[in-house]
Structure 1
Amino acid sequence: MKTQSLPTAVILALSIFLLSCSKTETTPIPQPEPYNGQSASQPAEPPGVPVSNNTSRDEGLKLIEGTDCLTCHKMDAKLIGPSYQEVAAKYTEADLDMLAQKIIDGGKGNWGHIPMTPHTGLSKDNAKLMVKYILSLKNQ
């Protein structure tokens, strides 16, 4: 009799195992929404930057966010290059053209030995908008 109960127990165990492994329930994997060219919400202003209705200032910020500038610069702290607040404290509106050209041509020596990458594909007008935004951070 013992020989009959052992195969029955094995068959029963295998049956339970197979049934437990054959469930078709799965957790669905969330899929991202397709990109439609519009963002769901407006990006938040960087810390320490007051909200403004000044369109050229906002355009300047958008241009900065759309380039590689934030790789080396932060609004309020030195990273690889100076913070934008440090730049704003050093320069005035009279330096607008020179700074815009510096963004386009790149440079070295004003803030240390690490050169700033040139942005030759940037128009002078867009570079000026970026500088206007940076200069608006004076005393913040």
Structure 2
Amino acid sequence: MLRKALFLIALSIAIISCGGSMAPQNVTDSTKSASPKLGSDNADSAVSYSPVVTLATSSDKGALLIIQNDCRNCHREREKLIGPAFSSIAVKYTDKDIDQLATKVIKGGSGIWGDISMAPHPSLTKEDAKKMIAFIFEIK
């Protein structure tokens, strides 16, 4: 009974928190971040750009599936909400875990990241779940 009450409280917090601002981060180009090239004598004149992977800027099928489903009720890209941050998942697992994680997304479960269980998503196909996981692995 206590678990159900805690789950309902956590779910309520997640739903309330969804009303947050969707404003882009304060970056000159929201899809790129500047970093000097390694080994360059003049770092100011030699700037390379590496893409910043975000749900907001990606047209990846996995990102679109995450947006279309309820994933963001419990997960954020780079910070823990109810469930772990996508970036934490990307660091903990590798490509060899995609099948296992896709099954977990579809069936739900708990225990790996704490006591709060992830809701099952039985309407997702295994292929769509794999696309979502593959995108999450890009958020490091």
Please give the TM-score of this superposition, normalised by the length of structure 2.
Answer: 0.60
Count of residues in Structure 1 that have an aligned counterpart in Structure 2: 93
- Bigger relative contact order, structure 1 or 2, given CA contacts below 8 A and separation 6+? 1
Could you tell me how far apart the structure 2 residues matched to 1:102 and 1:51 are?
23
Of Structure 1 and Structure 2, which has the larger fraction of its residues in helix? 1
Could you tell me how far apart the structure 1 residues matched to 2:94 and 2:23 are?
26
What SS does the corresponding residue of 2:60 show, helix, strand or coil?
helix
**CA-based RMSD:** 2.8
Could you tell me how far apart the structure 1 residues matched to 2:106 and 2:99 are?
11
Give 2:87's aligned amino acid.
Q
Give the CA deviation at 1:50: 2.1
Q: Quote the residue 1:63 is aligned against.
A: 65
Give 2:107's aligned amino acid.
D
Q: Quote the residue 1:111 is aligned against.
A: 113
Q: Which runs of structure 1 show a deviation greater than 4 angstroms over 4 or more consecutive aligned residues?
A: 43-49
Structure 1 unmatched runs, 5+: 1-42
Structure 2 unmatched runs, 5+: 1-21, 32-50
- Write out aligned runs for 1:8-87 (5 A): 50=52, 58-87=60-89
Of Structure 1 and Structure 2, which has the larger fraction of its residues in strand? 2
Please give the TM-score of this superposition, normalised by the length of structure 1.
Answer: 0.60
**Percent identity of the aligned residues?**
45
In terms of Rg, which structure is larger?
A: 1
Q: Quote the residue 1:96 is aligned against.
A: 98
What are the superposed Cα offsets for residues 8-48 of structure 1, whole Å, 9 maximum, x if unpaired? xxxxxxxxxxxxxxxxxxxxxxxxxxxxxxxxxxx998878
Give 2:106's aligned amino acid.
I
